[in-house]
Structure 1
Amino acid sequence: MSDTATAAKTPGSLRVGVQKVGTFLSGMIMPNIPALIAWGIFTAFFIDVGWTPNPALNSVVGPMIHYLLPIVIAYQGGRMIYETRGAVVGAIATFGAIAGSDWLIGLQNVELEAAGEKPISTIHMFIGAMIMGPLAAWVIKKLDALWEGRIKAGFEMLVNMFSAGIFGFIAAVFAFYVIAPIVNWIMNVLGGAVGWLVDNGLLPLTSILIEPAKVFFLNNAINHGVLTPLGTAESSESGKSILFLLEANPGVGLGLLLAFTFFGVGAARASAPGAAIIQFFGGIHEVYFPYVLMKPALLLAVIAGGATGVATNVVFRSGLVAPAAPGSIFAVLAQTARDSYLGVILAVVLSAAVTFVIAAVILRASRKRDLAAEAAGVDGFGAAVAQTQANKGKESSVLGGLAGGATGVATRPIERVVFACDAGMGSSAMGASVLRTKIKQAGIPGVTVTNKAIAALDGTADLVITQAQLTDRAKQKAAGAVHVSVDNFMNSPRYDEVVELLRAQAAGETAPAAEEPVVVPTTTGPIGSGRTRADDGVLTRGSVRIHRGSATRDEALQEATDILVSAGAVTPAYVDAMRAREETVSTYMGNELAIPHGTNEAKDAILGSALSVVRYDGGVDWDGDEVTFVVGIAGKGGEHLTILANVAELFGDDDRIAQLKAATTADELYDLFQSVNGDSR
């Protein structure tokens, strides 16, 4: 855990700030990728060096990149700040920046032509749009707040329309004279820097910055703030740009994940093949970030692989006509320029090969240590996935599915854990109690643990724990949650993995976990009425038995039902519901304990809440598991939940299990079980 523990520290304010900026820029660019793709198709086919040159349709290329793309980006940025009103004002303001840039360049070109020098190219206002769209929307939002509630009835539309129009005019003038010169200067500086790197053969060195930035989700600021505007401008002039390939090359992630497939250990190795498919063909690069985080030395592999790909594209002068988003091999090939297929394909292959070789060496060198850590129960991969999601700053179904499918360990920020079983009574209540105790002992704050029937899952859970046979059903009811499968609810090793993950999530917090107590009704009345008797509780003396011999599972189910019927808690038909439950999934809990109960459809057979306890000294073969204690359950409302929590505590302690086995009479066994009633007698 040493590598990921270091990475799990709270990120610095600078990194978080860059990440937020990048996320916002991505929010403006990504919805408009279809427009960039459409422009890329026009460029690929109809410019002079395209597949099918067409002067008429080529006339669409210039206006689309110069006007349409910046305007839709500004519109989206304004919309993110202040919905449609902000979007419209942001678009108006950005048009001022476009016109201002054209005016300045026109003046400069007049001077250059007079001096017999080559005129400079038009600058496209992508950066201007990303500045003015949100800025204008934010200002109009603040202005609206000044006169909100002060406009006379009937004049709202008039004021709203004129205020937006007048401010849009002012913002456009501001962008013309202030923003346009600034953006022109920025683009000239950035363009000059890239040109210098290309001229001196240093462009591959950008991987030293870009590859680590990707792992920490800082690449959006570089990609959308710098590479996309510069690459689009270059592509509009030459029909392609290498800049689109600096960050999107899927070969790097493929090589890393293949190395884990052959040389990794544990959950990382098991999940790597599926992650490779998602990354290479689906274009979701974030799935390989946890593999780097769990072993930071692998940054050397991805940097070398990225630099190899860039160097290959430099040698072959290859590029894309438009951004490849998402960075799938399909998207990359679809945007590859007509003369660049050999270079682009070779760059992907070589970057994958170099990454694979270096990563394999690193993984082989640490294999013994990694195997020892796995044997000790250390889940570095699970913690790395959690840290990756924390770096991203929001939930990710891809990362959640990656960890959930590979390790069964929840990895997104967890606040609500739900144990789910068929009926929501027995096994899930026991499991919830066990994990709740572990979380409390670990001092982890802010996590609630409850139990429900699968049918009652409502989509609010962050993590759902079920027995393996029920996981698919639970996923259908709670598709957005991370799902963990366990073999039994009493002593699954998955609990410790979840606790470790929650501890990493809560790093830096020392407040004890806030738990809401489960309140058991103390009203009086017969058990058959659905209320707990104050004198005996849900478990009565007559409901505890000891058998010196063995029994079959069905015999044990029948005896548990008979006891519950005698207590007035169920009808005789309840045994059929118990058998149906066993056919669906075993109620074996671990630690020689089974807690049979009916399915969720058996509610009509339940008259009240009661428990039965039978010890079979000869044992019960419970579908291949050896059971000594059979605790039958009938639950009406929530009366039995605290009892089950106490049963879980009893059977989580080996010394207390030994005492239960050593009891010589049913009365002695009942006295030992009195703690489950919350009784100190």
Structure 2
Amino acid sequence: MSTTAAPSRLHTARAGVQKFGTFLSGMIMPNIGAFIAWGLITALFIEKGFLPVPQLGGFGETDGTPNVGLVGPMIKYLLPLLIAYTGGRMVYDVRGGVVGAIAAMGVIVGADIPMFVGAMIMGPLGGWTMKKLDAIWTHRIRPGFEMLVNNFSAGIWAAVLALIGFYGIAPLVEAGSNAAGRAVQFLVDNGLLPLTSLLIEPGKVLFLNNAINHGVLTPLGTQQSLEQGKSILFLLEANPGPGLGVLLAYMLFGRGAAKASASGAAIIHFFGGIHEIYFPYVLMKPILILATIAGGMTGIATLALTNSGLVAPSAPGSIIAVMAQTSRDSYVGVILAVVLACAVSFLIASVILRLSKDKGEGDLSAATAQMEEMKGRKSMASTVLGSGSAAAGTATLTGTGVKSIVFACDAGMGSSAMGASVLRNKIRAAGHDDVTVTNSSIASLTDTYDMVVVHQDLALRAQEKTPSAQVVTVDNFMGSPKYDEIVEVLDAEKAGPGDTSAAPAATAEAEAAPPSSAEAHPVLRRESVLLAGGAADMAGAIDEAGRLLLAAGAVDGAYLDAMHEREQSVSTYMGNFLAIPHGTNEAKDHIKASAVTFARYAEPIDWNGKPVKFVVGIAGKDKEHLGILARIAKVFGDREQVARLEAASTVDEVLEILGKVNG
């Protein structure tokens, strides 16, 4: 219902980087199982492994013939081919995947190093060029010759690309990979590798974590692991220590919703490996990025000093996965790296929280919006029932026609799976068995869903993929109040419109009968309209709205406290200079009747960094607030109506504009 300015160049550029990084990681992530299999085989069967087996580890000779083993062929051929096929398929389905894999063979045999980067080039290139070539002769092939043309065109072009890869791309990629390897070794030799945390840790909370880890560090680390039996690069981004330190600090020194949810988030982060869950806690107080940077630097320095590393990528970044992929001689170093990174991050985050006036009791979404403005990125406005995205949200959250819901995150494997599970359980418990809830990566979204649930920092990309769906944004993957809001609108849709209409049909008997409750007691009364509100800040405006509801006989005194509590967990700023403070779901028992109040302020009130001129207090009895919210949204979604409200000089004018609220 609210509108915002066009996305800033910085935000658009960041979304572009995210999109490119997600595409790179999208070639790696589906094949992580293959990387883990290779890592386990390497750790077990190489000459320095736990169970050395020459025929499997590829060392020594059998009957005078050198053993090839599994380790070398898997990393030289299997893994690059899987990556290339995945990249080609992402661009042009199976046909693109096949052409991309063949094209990658050129770079694989044309270089002496594992061709992960070459595969990430040739796979998508093969799929894209094949798609363009097919478009040239589509609908021009004579009937009966389609299979002949399609098979030979793919074969011929794939062979051409393989030759291009062998003679042209492979030497360039090999030279680039060797240069990157020398750069990493230079950083290690000169003790500068910890400085990479200055880029990695901020990049993670900007949702570039998968692009950094799987798009850059995994290919370089795998090559290094083949040469040295382990790589420090696998743990630069995946170390769970820095994030755990921040969450522990919130557990001890935070307040409000952040403190209450930090313990559960810490378990999921550390053991489940879903690092995205701690990002909102840093976004809420951006200075905490200093704690994660210091923790990351400490962990990397520990790994470098102890010459420790993993044999394969740790995905997800769970401590269980980290230990499973730790090199045989690196257990002490890896454990120290995690523990010390956590300790340093915890100490710095604790000092920051203890010295801060706001110790985490504020609204996560409002704090995130403030941080976005500080960074110069596009801020996400609120949806009608809480924080959301004006650029990527629906005008009004509604359950109309919602049968399929998808929870999307950057990779589609971590936070989205957890969020989908929580939301699915809530929806099933409410009896909506006909509503399906799935999870997906942003890159894999299609415009076939009725509702998309996504972190507000990824909302713009979600809307690009699903323009016809409702986009609901959250800032807490584990226990967002938005999940309850979604269930409420589904309940309202299932109950039908009768729940929000108190007046009987207009029959002859009704005309002769006494006035209906809606007529005798309209939700918006003359005495509940203030043309000149007297509050000077957000808390005062909430109190003023609450007193009007109390005077209307709609609520009791406890509801006023619930209105402040609601603002702490989910901001009620809506956009278009409007805020709609109301109580929490737990405060329903304190509502006596449905009512709406209206207050206008000459000077905008600072509402968690947003300017508010209109404060509409709401109390909804028996889900009537859903209909009330929808009608208010319709009025404030029209800029002309907002201008009329701003210029109104009498209560009657306000009642006329907001008349549908009583209808």
Q: Bin the TM-score by the shorter chain.
A: 0.5 to 0.7
CA distance in 2, matches of 1:542, 1:175: 85
1:203 correspondence with 2:193: yes
* 1:89 and 2:88 are equivalent in the alignment: no
Tell me the amino acid that sits aligned with residue 30 of structure 1. Answer: M
Q: Which has the higher contact order (CA 8 A, sep 6+)?
A: 2
Deviation of 1:217 after TM superposition, in Å, equals 2.0
Aligned residue in 2 for 1:254: 244
What is the DSSP-based 3-state SS (H/G/I as helix, E as strand, rest coil) of the residue aligned with 1:448? coil
Query: Which position in structure 2 is the counterpart of 1:78?
Result: 88
Mapped contact 2:405–2:436 kept (Cα < 8 A): no
Change (3 A) 1:264 1:180: same
Alignment partner, residue 43 of structure 1: 42
Relative to structure 1, the CA distance from residue 82 to residue 645 in structure 2 (aligned partners, 3 Å threshold; closer, same or farther) is closer
Q: Which of residues 205, 215, 221 in structure 2 aligns to 1:225?
A: 215
Shift of 1:393: 13
Matched AA of 2:340: L
Structure 2 unaligned segments of length 5 or more: list them.
58-68, 408-418, 440-455, 462-500, 519-548, 556-586, 596-619, 636-655
In 2, are the aligned partners of 1:382 and 1:409 still within 8 Å (CA)?
A: no
Which residue in 1 is equivalent to 2:276? Answer: 286
* Contact map agreement 2:396 2:630 (CA 8 A) in 1: no
1:149–1:252 Cα change, 3 Å: same
What is the one-letter code of the residue matched to 1:458?
K
> Matches of 1:393 and 1:324 in 2, distance apart?
33
TM-score normalized by the length of structure 2: 0.61
**Deviation by residue 1:111-167 (Cα, 9 ceiling, x = unmatched):** xxxxxxxxxxx3110000000000111001000000000001000000000000000
1:42, 1:471 → 2: CA distance?
A: 42
Task: Write the distance in 1 (CA, Å) between the matches of 2:505 and 2:511.
Answer: 12
C-alpha distance after superposition, 1:593-624 (max 9, x if no partner): 49xxxxxxxxxxxxxxxxxxxxxxxxxxx997
In the alignment, structure 1 residue 330 sits paired with structure 2 residue 320: yes
Partner of 1:145: 135
Equivalent-residue separation in structure 1 for 2:285 and 2:590 (angstroms) = 39
User: Against the structure 1 CA distance between its residues 391 and 228, is the aligned structure 2 distance closer, same or farther, given a 3 Å change threshold?
Assistant: farther
Instruction: Give the superposition deviation at 1:542.
Output: 1.4
Distance 1:481 1:447 in 2: 23
Q: How far, CA to CA, are the matches of 1:280 and 1:337 in structure 2?
A: 20
Name the CA shift for 1:644/1:246 in 2 (closer, same or farther; >3 Å): closer
* Letter matched to residue 36 of structure 1: F
Deviation (angstroms), 1:73? 0.3
User: Secondary structure of 1:149's partner?
Assistant: coil
Partners of 1:623 and 1:129 lie apart in 2 by 58
2:76 to 61, 66, 71: 66
For the pair 1:99 / 2:98, whether they are aligned, the reply is no
CA contact (8 A) 2:95 2:127 kept: yes
Q: Does residue 448 of the first structure (1) align with residue 396 of the second (2)?
A: yes
The amino acid of 2:395's aligned partner reads: V
Cα offset, 1:215, TM superposition: 1.1
Cα distance 1:317–1:153, how it changes in 2: closer, same or farther (>3 A)? same
- Please state if 1:380 is matched with 2:366: yes
Deviation at 1:37, TM superposition (A): 0.7
Deviation at 1:286, TM superposition (A): 1.0
Q: Percent of aligned positions with the same letter in both sequences?
A: 52
1:17 paired with 2:10, answer no
Corresponding residue SS for 1:44: helix
State the 1:223 CA deviation: 2.3
CA distance in 1 between counterparts of 2:512 and 2:631 reads: 17
Partner of 1:458: 403
Against the structure 1 CA distance between its residues 471 and 256, is the aligned structure 2 distance closer, same or farther, given a 3 Å change threshold?
Answer: farther
CA separation in 2, counterparts of 1:379 and 1:193?
40
2:514 maps to: 542
Measured against aligned partners, the alpha-carbon deviations of 1:282-334 in whole angstroms (never above 9, x if no partner) come to: 11111111111122211110000001111111111111110000111111011
Partners of 1:623 and 1:195 in 2: how far apart? 62
Within 2, Cα distance between the matches of 1:231 and 1:89? Answer: 27
RMSD after superposition: 4.8
Offset, 1:16: 2.8
Match of 1:166 in 2: 156
Equivalent-residue separation in structure 2 for 1:354 and 1:245 (angstroms): 17
1:238 offset after TM fit, Å? 2.0
- Residue in 1 aligned with 2:256? 266
Alignment of 1:238 with 2:228, yes or no, is yes
Residues 312, 325 of structure 2: 8 Å contact kept: yes
Alignment-derived partner of residue 104 in structure 1: none
Q: Is the 8 A contact 2:284 2:365 kept in 1?
A: no
**One-letter code aligned to 1:76:** T
**Which residue identity lines up with residue 107 of structure 2 in the other structure?**
A
Distance 1:541 1:324, change over 3 A: same
Q: How far apart are the structure 2 equivalents of 1:676 and 1:50?
A: 74
Is this contact kept in 2: 1:268–1:381, CA < 8 A? Answer: no
Summarize the Cα distance change of 1:332–1:174 in structure 2 as closer, same or farther, 3 Å threshold: same
Once the two structures are superposed, the pairs formed by residues 488-499 of structure 1 within 5 Å of their partners are none
Are the structure 2 counterparts of residues 153 and 334 from structure 1 closer, same or farther at C-alpha, using a change threshold of 3 Å? Answer: same
Q: Contact (CA 8 Å) 2:369, 2:379: kept in 1 or not?
A: no
Structure 1 counterpart of 2:295: 305
> In 1, Cα distance between the equivalents of 2:95 and 2:630?
56
> What 5-or-longer segments of structure 1 have no aligned partner?
102-121, 395-402, 417-445, 483-500, 507-526, 547-588, 595-621, 650-671
| Paired amino acid for 2:403 | D
Task: Measure, in 2, the Cα distance between the counterparts of 1:144 and 1:85.
Answer: 10
The answer to whether residue 201 in structure 2 is matched with residue 192 in structure 1 is no
1:398-425 residue CA offsets vs partner (Å, 9 max, x unmatched): xxxxx99xxx955577877xxxxxxxxx
Give the direction of change, closer, same or farther, for the CA distance of 1:331–1:623 in structure 2 (3 Å limit). closer
Alpha-carbon contact 1:293-1:384 (below 8 Å) kept: no
Shift of the 153–278 alpha-carbon distance from structure 1 to 2, 3 Å rule, reads same
Q: Tell me, what secondary structure is at the counterpart of 1:336?
A: coil
Q: Deviations over 1:155-206 (max 9, x none)?
A: 0000000000000010001111111011011101101100101111111111
Q: Is the 8 A contact 2:28 2:215 kept in 1?
A: no
Q: How far 1:17 sits from its partner (Å)?
A: 2.8
Instruction: Please state whether the residue corresponding to 2:236 is helix, strand or coil.
Output: helix
Q: Is the 8 A contact 1:216 1:392 kept in 2?
A: no
Deviation at 1:344, TM superposition (A): 0.7
Instruction: Specify the alignment match of 1:116 in structure 2.
Output: none
Equivalent AA in structure 2 for residue 79 of structure 1: R
Q: CA shift at 1:39, angstroms?
A: 0.5
2:110 alignment partner, SS class: helix
Tell me the residue number matched to 2:602: none
What are the superposed Cα offsets for residues 549-570 of structure 1, whole Å, 9 maximum, x if unpaired? Answer: xxxxxxxxxxxxxxxxxxxxxx
Partner residue of 1:523? none
Q: Helix, strand or coil: the match of 1:153?
A: coil
Q: Counterpart in 2 of 1:108?
A: none
Q: Residue 430 of structure 2 aligns with which residue?
A: 473
**Count of residues in correspondence between the two structures:** 465
Deviations 1:517-566 (A, max 9, x none): xxxxxxxxxx9xx9645x89x787514589xxxxxxxxxxxxxxxxxxxx
Give the deviation of 1:266 after TM superposition. 2.1
SS of 2:237's partner is helix
Determine if contact 2:281/2:364 at 8 Å carries over to the other structure: no
Residues 480 and 385 from structure 1, CA distance in 2 versus in 1: closer, same or farther, beyond 3 angstroms?
farther
Equivalents in 1 of 2:506, 2:263: separation in Å? 54
Tell me, yes or no, if the aligned pair for 2:253 and 2:359 is still in contact at 8 Å.
no
Report matched runs for 1:526-541 at 5 Å. 532-533=506-507
Assess, with a 3 A threshold, how the Cα gap between structure 1 residues 678 and 29 changes in structure 2: closer, same or farther.
Answer: closer
